[in-house]
Chain A
Amino acid sequence: MTEYGMQTSSHDAPPNEERTALRKSPASGPAEVIQEHIVEIVSDSGEGAQRCGQSLASIAARSGHGIWTVEIIPAEIQPPHRSIAGASGNRVRMAAHKVTNVGDKADLVIAFNEQVLLSRLNANEIKPGATILIEEMWKCDKDPAVAENYEKVTAEVRSKGYKLFEIPMQTECQKYVPDPTKGKNMFVLGILCTIYSLDTALAEAQVRLTFAKKDQKIVDANLELLAAGQAWAAENLSVRYMIPAAPVVKPQIVTNGNAALALGVVASGMEVCSMYPITPATSASHYLSTIFEKVGCVVHQAEDEISAATFAIGASYAGKCAVTITSGPGLSLKQEAIGLAVMTEIPLVVIDVQRGGPSTGLPTKVEQGDMMSAMFGSHGDAPKVVMAVDSIEDCFYSVITARKIAETFNMVVVILSDAALSTAQQPFDRPEFNPDWLAPPVNQSAVPEDAHPYDWDERTGIATRFIPGQPNGMHCLTGLAHDRDSHVAYDPQINEEGLLNRSRKLAALQKTLRLAPVYGDEEGDLLLIGWGSTRGAIEEAVKIMRAKGHKVSSLHLKFIQPMAAGIDAVMKRFGKVMTIENNWNDPESDPLIDPSNRRYSHLAMLLRSRWLVDVDCWGNARGQPLKPAEIIEAAMAKLDDKKPTAGGQ
C-alpha cells in the first residue's frame, strides 16, 4: 500500500469519447497485482447488492484473502427508488494480508443507478480516480428527467477523473431471467469475479450456498447469471486485478460481529437470552433464535427493555447467568434493573451494541457513546464490569469471559460492541470447543446451617449466592440496603459494608487483569489509546506512521471497568498521549471552548481523572467508523502540536 492507503491504479483513464470502445475491447495483458482493494456494491434496497457483496467477500475469504466487509444501510426500510438516502449495499475490503478495519476510501464502485452512486460520492467515500461501474439502462429511460439525471451524474464523474464503465446490466440479465431486478446482483458478482481474477469453482460454490434454501431452478438461474457476468466482463472490460492470496493454513470461520456474539452466547453456557428488538443489536438475537432452541435454550422477546432485563435477572437468580442484548436507548431503560442486579448481586450479562445517540440518534450508525452510561448509568454507587470488544473474533470470546466473570463475582458485566462490528465480517480461526466455557450445573445442594446469603469474603468481596431449590438457603433478595442475612437494614454501617464489598469485587477482578501489550515500541513521542471497534484502524494507522519513522505506538483497552494496572507507567514513556474514540469531544477550535469547559471523549475523561495525566483526545461522531487515514492526520497534528481539526474534518 502506498502512502495512507492512497492506492492509485496504473490503469489509464480512457478519454470520454473512447469509453464505449474500451468497453468493447477484450481483456488485454495480465492482471495488475495489487496488495488490497476496497470495493463497494450499491443498489436500491431489494436489488441484492448486500448479498452480492457478502458473496464476493466469502469467495475472497475462501480464496485466502484477508477481508473486512461492512453493510451500507439505508435509513429506512423501503426508501424511494433511485434515491440518495436509499443506497444499500456492501463495502468489501480485500487484501493479501489480514484486514482489521473498513479502510479508507473505495477503489472500485459498482452502482445499480446514478443516485446511489451519488450518495457514496457525497459521503466522500470514494477515492479520487477510482474505477466506477454503472448500470447504463437509465440513459434511455422513458422518463426524460431520469435520463437527464443519469447523464448529469455520469458526466460529472468523468470530468472529475474517475474511470467510468457503463454496463448494460438490465439488457444482459434479461437474456436469462424475466425480472433482472432479482438477478443483477449475481451478474455483478460474476463481473467482480472476473475483475479480481477469482476462482470460478469457488464462486459457483458460493452461489450454491447463498441459494441453498431455494429450489434448483433458482440456483441454476443464478449460476447462469454468474457465468454471464464473468463472460461479459472477460469480453468487454479491460480492468483486471490480482490480489495475492495466502493459503489458508488453519480452519477459519467468517461471521459478522453480531453472529459472533450469538455464537458466544451459545458457547458460554448461558441458557436464557431475553431481549427487545433494537437496531443494530437485533440481528444477534435473530441469529441466536435460529440456534438456541437446538441446544435446549430460549430467546425471549420481552414486552420492553425493562422486562427484558428483569426477566434475565429472574432467570439468572433461578440458576445460570442470563444475557440481555440491546443498544443505547434500551440500555437507558435497563438501568434501574441493572442497579437491582448490582444490589442483589445477581450475575447478569448485558450486551450493548452501541449506535449513535443521544435519544433515538443514528439507529444504524456507529458511535462509541455509551461507555459512561454503561459505567455510571444506574443511580447510586453501582459497580459493574464494563468490557469492550475489539474484533469480530473478540465478540465470540468476550461473551464466554463475561459469563464467567458475572458468575464468579456475582456481578453485572456489560459488553460494549457497536454498529461497526455488528454487520462487519471478518474471517478468524475456527474456535475449538472447550467444555470449560460452559457454566457448571445449577447448584442445588443444601446450604450449610450457619451460612448467610451475603457472607462477603473480605479479601474479595464475593459472597456465595444461594439459588432457589437449595435447602436451608431461603432468604429474600432485596434492592433495599441489606445486611448479611439479606434483611432490610438502613443502619449506616451496614449500608457501607454492602457498598464496600460490592466495590471490592471490582478491585479483586482488577488484580487478575493484565494490560494488553503496547502496539509498537514501548516508548516514543505519541501514544494513542483506544477501546472497542477502533482497534484495527488505530493499529493500521500506527503501522503506517511507524513505517515512515514516526515514534508512535498504541494501547488498546479491553477492560474499561475495572481497568488493568500499569497504564500510568506506559503513558509516562511517551511524550504525548491521546485517545482515539468514535464519540464526541468538544473541538478546541470552537471560540466558546477553552480548557475550563472542554468536554473530552469518554476514555480520555477517565484516564485524566484517574492518572492526572494530560491525555488529549481525538475522534468524531459522524456515524462512520474511524478510518486509518483520519487517525494518521490527527496523530500527525498532535505530533506537530497543531490543534487537531474539529471532529476530524
Chain B
Amino acid sequence: MTASMSQCLMQMVQTDYQIADYQSDITPRWCTGCGDNAILTAMQRLCRDEQLPPEKTVCVSGIGCASRLPHYMNAYGFHGIHGRALPIAEGIKIRRPDLSVFVTTGDGDCCSIGAAHWIHAVRYNMNMTMLLHDNNVYGLTKKQASPTSPKGLKSNTTPFGATLNPLNPLSVTLGISNVSFVAQVPDWIPELLYDVLSKAYHHKGFSFIRILQRCPNFMNHHFDAAVQDPLRVRMLTHADGLRLKPELSRIYKNQETHDPLDLNRAQALAMLDEEIPVGVLYSNPHVPCYDELRKGKRPSTPQLVETVLNEEFDKVGIWPEGQQATSNGE
C-alpha cells in the first residue's frame, strides 16, 4: 500500500503517534503464548512507524480467534461474519482510497468458508494487506481440523486423524491470476514479522501474508521443530525482499537469494516439504489494481447526476406536442 496525499498532510500536522495510540482500551484475551499477540504487536508497530492516523486505518476481520484483532486496535475496525472479511474490506476500499485497510483472518475463515473470496481478492488485487493467521486448526470453536491441518491431526472432528493432505495457502495464492504479493513468516521471529508486514504494507496491490501462528492451546508444540531448529527455516533474501540483519543471519544460516519477481521459483519454494520458506516469495508492483481501474473518472456531483438522468430520460422521453428533448440522448 502507498501512503496517500491526505496521509502525508496528516503526518505534517501530527507526527507523534506512539504505540499506545494504536492500543484500544480492551486487553487482548488470547491465550498466553498465542501467536496472535505477536501479530498484534507487529501491526501496532507498523502503524506507529508509518504514523498512520488511527481514524484513517481500518482493520477488518471475519470470525475466529484471529479475527478478534480489530477489537484490540485503536483504529476503525469491522469484526464481520465468518469468512467474509475480504469482501467487506473491498467494499470499504472501493470508494475510499484514503483509508489504510488491513484484513486479519484465520485458516478456517480464509481457506475454508471464505475460500471463494480469497481467490477473488487476489484477482481483484485491491490495495490492502491481508494477514492469514494460520494455526492449522480451528481455535475459537475448540479444535476441529482446518483445511491446513496436517494429515493425521487428531482433532474433535477427526479423532482418528485428519484424512486429507493439507491445502497449501502459498501455492494456491501464487496460482491465482493477478497475484501480486505473497509472503510467509512465523510469529516467533518478531523482527521478521515486522519486516514482512512492512514490505506488504508498502506493496501496491493486494498483499497476502501467511503467518505461521502458534496455538499453544490446541496445537501445542506443533511448530516446535521449526522453532527449535533454525535450519528448518529457509530465509529468502533479496534487495527487493527481505534483508536479514547480521544477528539473524548468524542464526538462520539456511538462506537463499530469491528474486521476488521469479514466480516459478516462488512456486517451487512454496512446495518445499521439509523446510519452511520465510520471506517475500513474490512481489510484483505492476499488476493493475481493481480499485484504481474502477475509480470514478469524475467525482459524483449533484450536477452530474442531474445531467446524466436527463440524458437517460430524453432517450425514453415522450413530449407534449411542440415540446422537445433538452438533449439528443442517442
Residues of A bordering B, CB below 8 Å: 61-62, 209, 212, 247-255, 259, 263, 266-267, 269, 271-272, 274, 291, 293-298, 300, 302-304, 306-308, 310-320, 322, 336-337, 340, 344, 427, 430-431, 433, 435, 438, 466, 468-480, 487-488
B21 to chain A, nearest CB (A): 10
Is B233 an interface residue when CB atoms closer than 8 A count as contact?
A: no
Residues of chain B lying within 8 A (CB to CB) of residue A433:
305-306, 309-310
Residue of A212, A291, A316, A319 touching B312 (CB-CB under 8 A): A291
B297 to A479, Cβ gap below 8 A? no
Residues of chain A lying within 8 A (CB to CB) of residue B302:
435, 438
B319 to A251, Cβ gap below 8 A? yes
A438 to B305, Cβ gap below 8 A? yes
Residues of chain B lying within 8 A (CB to CB) of residue A266:
305, 308-309, 312
A212 to B120, Cβ gap below 8 A? no
Residues of B bordering A, CB below 8 Å: 24, 26, 53-56, 58-60, 63, 70-71, 73-81, 84, 86-96, 98-99, 116-117, 119-120, 294, 296-302, 304-306, 308-310, 312-313, 316-321, 323, 330
Interface on chain B toward A: helix, strand, loop, or mixed SS? Answer: mixed
By beta carbon, the residue of chain B nearest A425 is B316
Residues of chain A lying within 8 A (CB to CB) of residue B119:
303
A587 to chain B, nearest CB (A): 40
A277 to chain B, nearest CB (A): 15
Q: How far is the CA of A73 from the CA of B78 in the complex (A)?
A: 43
Residues of chain B lying within 8 A (CB to CB) of residue A469:
55-56, 96, 98-99
Q: How far is the CA of A316 from the CA of B73 in the complex (A)?
A: 21
A298 to chain B, nearest CB (A): 5
A479 to B79, Cβ gap below 8 A? yes
B71 to A317, Cβ gap below 8 A? no
B94 to A248, Cβ gap below 8 A? no
Residues of chain A lying within 8 A (CB to CB) of residue B74:
474
Residues of chain A lying within 8 A (CB to CB) of residue B96:
318-319, 468-469
Residue of A254, A312, A476 touching B91 (CB-CB under 8 A): A312
B91 to A475, Cβ gap below 8 A? no
Q: How far is the CA of A336 from the CA of B81 in the complex (A)?
A: 8
With A306-B84, A430-B317, A487-B26 known as contacts, the answer to whether A311 contacts B79 (CB < 8 A) is no
Residues of chain A lying within 8 A (CB to CB) of residue B71:
476, 478, 487-488
Residue of A248, A298, A303, A315 touching B117 (CB-CB under 8 A): A303
A254 to B316, Cβ gap below 8 A? yes
Q: How far is the CA of A267 from the CA of B308 in the complex (A)?
A: 10
Residue of B24, B58, B304 touching A296 (CB-CB under 8 A): B304
Q: How far is the CA of A272 from the CA of B296 in the complex (A)?
A: 11
A339 to chain B, nearest CB (A): 8
A270 to chain B, nearest CB (A): 10
Q: How many A-B residue pairs have CB under 8 A?
A: 205
By beta carbon, the residue of chain B nearest A251 is B319
A128 to chain B, nearest CB (A): 34
Q: How far is the CA of A267 from the CA of B304 in the complex (A)?
A: 11
Residues of chain A lying within 8 A (CB to CB) of residue B296:
293, 295-298
Q: How far is the CA of A294 from the CA of B300 in the complex (A)?
A: 9
B4 to chain A, nearest CB (A): 12
Q: How far is the CA of A328 from the CA of B90 in the complex (A)?
A: 25
By beta carbon, the residue of chain A nearest B68 is A488
By beta carbon, the residue of chain A nearest B310 is A433
Q: How far is the CA of A259 from the CA of B309 in the complex (A)?
A: 12
Instruction: Apart from A212-B330, A469-B96, A474-B54, list 6 A-B contacts with CB within 8 A.
Output: A252-B318, A298-B94, A314-B90, A317-B92, A474-B75, A475-B76
Q: How far is the CA of A263 from the CA of B306 in the complex (A)?
A: 11
Residues of chain B lying within 8 A (CB to CB) of residue A295:
296, 300, 304-305, 308
Q: How far is the CA of A340 from the CA of B59 in the complex (A)?
A: 17
With A251-B319, A253-B313, A469-B96 known as contacts, the answer to whether A307 contacts B117 (CB < 8 A) is yes
Residues of chain B lying within 8 A (CB to CB) of residue A316:
91
Q: How far is the CA of A248 from the CA of B324 in the complex (A)?
A: 12
Residues of chain B lying within 8 A (CB to CB) of residue A427:
318
Residues of chain A lying within 8 A (CB to CB) of residue B89:
314
Residues of chain B lying within 8 A (CB to CB) of residue A269:
300, 305
With A303-B120, A433-B305, A476-B71 known as contacts, the answer to whether A296 contacts B297 (CB < 8 A) is yes
B55 to A472, Cβ gap below 8 A? yes
Residues of chain A lying within 8 A (CB to CB) of residue B59:
476
With A307-B117, A314-B90, A317-B78 known as contacts, the answer to whether A271 contacts B95 (CB < 8 A) is yes
A263 to B312, Cβ gap below 8 A? yes
Residues of chain B lying within 8 A (CB to CB) of residue A252:
317-319
Residue of B99, B301, B313, B321 touching A318 (CB-CB under 8 A): B99
Residues of chain B lying within 8 A (CB to CB) of residue A306:
84, 87
By beta carbon, the residue of chain A nearest B302 is A435
A425 to chain B, nearest CB (A): 9
Residues of chain B lying within 8 A (CB to CB) of residue A322:
91
With A336-B81, A474-B76, A476-B24 known as contacts, the answer to whether A255 contacts B87 (CB < 8 A) is no
B320 to A247, Cβ gap below 8 A? yes
